[in-house]
Amino acid sequence: MRLESKVAIVTGAAHGIGAAIARELAREGAVVYGIDRDPHIDATCASIRQAQGQAFGCLLDITDRPKYAELVAGIAETQGRIDILVNNAAVVYYEDLLNSTLEHWREIQAVNLEAQYVACKLVAPYMIKGGWGRILNIASTQAIATEPTVGAYAASKGAIVSFTKSLAVELAPHGINANAIAPGCIHTRMSFVNGVDETTTEYFRTWYVEKRKIPLGRAGQPEEIARAAVFLVSDDASYITGHTLVADGGLTITF
């Protein structure tokens, strides 16, 4: 119960990595508020409660800044504190530069990056008041080594890595640590491109598994990222800040 009595906010918590992080935080004793624009967030949090965890679903589009501010203020009023923020929500469009649109570029930056800034600005005062806080931003290995058709997504994730470093320096005097995780190929709904699960394709099996482009020879699971997240938001990582933990099965260390 490393997080007993802590109050946590997790965005993009209806499915995938966000849902797994919400479950792990609750299992470690945190009171979790899961935020998502997908109505499934209620079912996710209900399943956490059935497992004896404390979790509340919040249906919200995090690009709606006034409603986001209202929600955060309500959580702080109800719980008397906010200790942990996990900025996980993200969107992606797979399109090459010449066929991409400015509208998609702006949407990706609004969800993946701007909403993280807004959330940090909203929760930081409560963490400062409490003299303790953990901010965890979910980046991506696309911030380190990218590929075609994800330019806007890669740009947002690279910015998250830099933003996290700035947060760490600025908030350290207040007892707040800020870190990031850069997941590699994790089997979530984002693994599906044009209706096809990339991890089941012949290309994936040949290049990433058989030829060991991923040295561990498989895609990761959301729970594996969640366990790293618990470490970074707990006192076990008390002397770690400004760091981006790469969790990619070795993907970015190979040629």
Burial class (CB in 10 A: 0-12, 13-18, 19+), 47: middle
Residue 186 vs residues 16, 66, 192: alpha-carbon distances, Å: 9, 32, 11
Catalytic residue among 153, 203, 208, 239: 153
SS3 246: strand
CA 198 to chain centre: 21
CB 12 within 8 A of CB 21: no
- Cα atoms in the Cβ-side hemisphere of radius 13 Å centred on 243: 15
33 among known catalytic residues: no
Annotated active-site positions, please? 153
